[in-house]
Amino acid sequence: MPNIVVTTWSLEQTAPTDLLPAQAPQGDVTIVRSEVPSPEFSRFLYTSVGGDVHWTDLLGWTYAQWREHLERPGVETWVAYDRGTPAGYVELEPQDDGVVEILHFGLLPAFRGRRIGGHLLSYGTARAWDLAERWPGLAQTKRVWLHTCSKDGEHAMANYQRRGFQLFDTKVEEEAEAPASGPWPGAYPA
């Protein structure tokens, strides 16, 4: 496969007051924390949300690697459901000194463009800010950050900025182009 140029932008919030919430979407959309670590469910979310935007970094992880990651104190997965069907997710990962990374965020393709993403990002960011309240022993959150890249959805950067995230770093690198994956082979035909 040929190489492609990928731009990665890192964005942050440095105070809870930076968060600019989105309106809740119309309809029966709920957001629930997935409290039982489930490698199967997390891999489903990862491949379903990231398949068409070339999320491939974790596809080689074993069941044990998924489990180890999910069982780390403070790692949380919050799932948006539309009338009982998973629509997207946000995954939080605490780091040193009160830093929380929004490690994964996105919607399954069928749920994009319905105002669920802004609501889910707002909710997930608020949960990053109050993460220490649910996890005794974690430092109080001082900074929430994430990254997005030129392979992500066309509205990703605007959504982050509308939620109050500020750009703090940009990197441009060449990488091997990866085919879209998805939850099963051929899920995202060209």
CB 1 within 8 Å of CB 176: yes
Asked if residue 142 belongs to a domain, the reply is yes
pLDDT > 70: percent of the chain: 93
Asked if residue 107 belongs to a domain, the reply is yes
Q: Which of 146, 128, 140, 145 is nearest to 98 (CA)?
A: 140
Summarised one tens digit per residue, pLDDT across range 59-74 is 899 999 999 999 999 9
Residue 131 has pLDDT above 90, yes or no: yes
Other residues' Cβ atoms within 10 Å of the Cβ of residue 135: 13
Asked if residue 29 belongs to a domain, the reply is yes
Asked if residue 172 belongs to a domain, the reply is yes
Beta strands in the chain (DSSP E): 3-13, 29-33, 76-82, 85-94, 99-107, 143-149, 166-176
pTM of the predicted structure, to 2 decimals: 0.92
Residue 54 has pLDDT above 90, yes or no: no
Summarised one tens digit per residue, pLDDT across range 163-181 is 999 999 999 999 877 666 6
**Domain, as residue range, for 45:** 3-176
Question: What values do phi and psi take at 9, rounded to 5?
Answer: -110, 135
Q: Which CATH number goes with the domain that contains 172? A: 3.40.630.30
